[in-house]
């Protein structure tokens, strides 16, 4: 845009503007504006995608925490069950000894 404005300023300072030069500059400005509008739309779209990604990252983080909690609870349950099985086996052994004795 700066270059186009400089060209316009230079052409106005000249005594005789060349035919069609102003319309070419205007067309270039319109073209640049369209490109700028497309880039702005793309930036907005990317901003929305970025926001969605941040929301999804928070969901993933929460699910990871939930999974870690469940793993911890499963390990505790496994330990409790292993202890209960061991104690049951010991009780069975002592019952067998009592019957034999």
Q: Measured between alpha carbons, how far is 20 from 78 in angstroms, rounded to an integer?
A: 85
Extents of the domains making up the chain = 1-100
For residue 27, name the pLDDT band (cuts at 50, 70, 90): confident
Q: What is the pLDDT of residue 72?
A: 98
pLDDT in tens, 38-90: 999 999 999 999 999 999 999 999 999 999 999 999 999 999 999 999 999 99
pLDDT in tens, 76-93: 999 999 999 999 999 999
Q: Which of 40, 13, 11 is nearest to 24 (CA)?
A: 11
Q: Measured between alpha carbons, how far is 8 from 22 in angstroms, rounded to an integer?
A: 8
Global model pTM greater than 0.75: no
Q: Measured between alpha carbons, how far is 16 from 14 in angstroms, rounded to an integer?
A: 6
Q: What is the pLDDT of residue 39?
A: 95
Average pLDDT of span 2-20: 65
């Amino acid at each position: 845009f700066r270059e186009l404005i400089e060209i316009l300023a230079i052409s106005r300072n000249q005594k005789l503007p060349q035919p069609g030069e102003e319309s070419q500059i205007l067309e270039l400005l319109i073209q640049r504006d369209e490109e700028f509008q497309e880039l702005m739309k793309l930036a907005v779209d990317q901003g929305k995608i970025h926001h969605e990604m941040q929301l999804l990252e928070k969901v993933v983080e929460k699910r990871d925490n939930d999974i870690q909690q469940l793993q911890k609870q499963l390990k505790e349950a496994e330990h409790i069950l292993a202890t209960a099985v061991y104690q049951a086996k010991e009780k069975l052994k002592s019952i067998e000894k009592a019957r034999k004795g």
